[in-house]
Amino acid sequence: MIIVERKPEKILWTEHSKRKMRYYRLSEGKVLRVLRRPDRKEEGIAPKTIAVMQKSGTKKRPTEIWMMYQIKNEKLRKVIIISAWRYPGISPIGEKLPIPIDILEELSDLIN
């Protein structure tokens, strides 16, 4: 067995993001790939966050993988992954999706 030592962690995962990844069956590598090579980048729904998307699925059943993150320290480039989800279909470009108030409150609690 080969043990690889990791560099100091620059990516932090919230419990919310881990739960959502399990729910939508998204692997850590898939979410990091969305972070590194997004198809689209928008302002996140929570303050001071960024949402990125990558197309997924098939031509007949298109889906999108979204993730929301926040850059905590510009100098060290520490990234906090707040949430990740799979959107069925193709989301409208540039329009904010209607999000229930209780979800917004939960996200604001995670950020603060």
Domain-located, residue 5: no
Largest alpha-carbon pair distance within the chain?
48
Burial of 28 from C-beta contacts in 10 A (0-12 / 13-18 / 19+) = middle
Domain housing 58? 11-111
Domain-located, residue 6: no
pTM over 0.95: no
Domain-located, residue 1: no
What angle, 0 to 180 degrees and rounded to 10, lies between the N-to-C axes of helices 28-36 and 15-23? Answer: 110
37-46, 74-83, 89-98: lowest mean pLDDT where? 89-98
Domain-located, residue 17: yes
Domain-located, residue 81: yes
Give 23-77 pLDDT, tens digit per residue: 999 999 999 999 999 999 998 888 889 999 999 989 999 999 999 999 987 777 7
Mean pLDDT score, 66-89: 88
Q: How many domains, the chain? A: 1
- 111, 50 in Cβ contact below 8 A? no
Domain-located, residue 2: no
Q: What pLDDT sits at residue 96?
A: 67
